[in-house]
Amino acid sequence: MKFKPAMLQVYLVIGTQNVEQQPARLLQVVQQALAAGVTAVQFREKDGSQLDAAARVRLGKAIHQLTQAADVPLLVDDDVQLAEQIGAEGVHVGQTDDTVGPIRAQHPDWIIGLSVHNEAELQASQADLPQVDYLGVGPVFATDSKPDAQAPIGVAGLQAVQAQTELPLVAIGGISETNVHELSAVPTIGVSVISAITQSSDLQKTVQLLKTKGATHEN
Ligand code: TZP
Ligand code: MG
């Protein structure tokens, strides 16, 4: 699937750690979020997952069936082999994960995203940038979903990274229905969320709100 910046409009990140370790609940959230209009999904199963390798592949394939039916890309956090086994559309890697060059060489048609915390990390990633489709930038706000998250960079921090790159950006970290409008100050971005969606009681409303207030991409 060819990358388009509009895929970043509302980007759901999810693993069983976000849904009380219940794969069935994860699939339900993904299905409802797709129906509500999310534009990308990332399967992010963190260390300490109760799923063994085979169970991750099974769950990943089940997620992929849902995303394919909705014509939405599925990316896998930080696990090239799992992405290959699932047949996912790509991977999202962090600063301490694999470098992007060899992944791109193996998978010319994948969508590849890279996490960047601030301008210093952007500079440190220069060699990888030509191989990446988009950058995930944050945490913008304080988050309860990532125990090892760095300090929030705020909208100003997001703006500072944005000023230094032409790559499409997706903001992440603590983005909610109540603060998403603050991001509209920064052009050409989308929003990536865990808890705003996994803890929503009205996914249709949540996704629409994130889409209209958070993202400025149309193409
Ligand atoms: N990377 C930076 S913050 C974060 C990740 C994966 C967690 C985002 O979760 P939430 O619940 O949307 O703050
Ligand atoms: Mg990682």
Rounded to whole angstroms, the Cα distance separating 199 from 203 reads 9
Q: What pLDDT digit, counting tens, does each position of 108-162 carry? A: 999 999 999 999 999 999 999 999 999 999 999 999 999 888 999 999 999 999 9
Distance 81 CA to ligand 2 centre (A): 14
The pLDDT value given to residue 33: 98
Q: Is the pTM of this model over 0.90?
A: yes
The pLDDT value given to residue 61: 98
Q: State the pLDDT confidence band at 219, using cuts at 50, 70 and 90.
A: very low
Out of 92, 143, 200, mutate this one to test ligand 1's pocket (max ligand atoms within 8 Å of CB): namely 143
Q: Which ligand is nearest to the CA of 136?
A: 1
Measured from the Cα of 142, ligand 1's closest atom is: 13
The pLDDT value given to residue 218: 43
What interface predicted TM-score (ipTM) does this complex get?
A: 0.96
The pLDDT value given to residue 180: 94
Q: Binding site, residues?
A: 42-46, 77-78, 97, 115, 143-146, 174, 194-195
The pLDDT value given to residue 96: 81
Q: What six digits make up the tokens of 40?
A: 């990308």
Q: What pLDDT digit, counting tens, does each position of 167-216 carry? A: 999 999 999 999 999 998 887 679 999 999 999 999 999 999 999 877 66
The pLDDT value given to residue 187: 76
User: Is 153 within 8 Å of 120 (Cβ atoms)?
Assistant: no
User: Is residue 217 predicted with pLDDT exceeding 70?
Assistant: no
Active site residues: 44, 115, 146
Distance 21 CA to ligand 1 centre (A): 17
Mean per-residue pLDDT, 95-103: 87
User: Residues lining ligand 1, judged by CB closer than 6 Å?
Assistant: 13, 138-139, 143, 145-146, 149, 172-175, 193-196
Q: State the pLDDT confidence band at 2, using cuts at 50, 70 and 90.
A: very high
Write the residue with the smallest CA distance to atom 3 of ligand 1.
173
The pLDDT value given to residue 216: 60
Q: What pLDDT digit, counting tens, does each position of 45-94 carry? A: 998 889 999 999 999 999 999 999 999 999 999 999 999 999 999 999 99
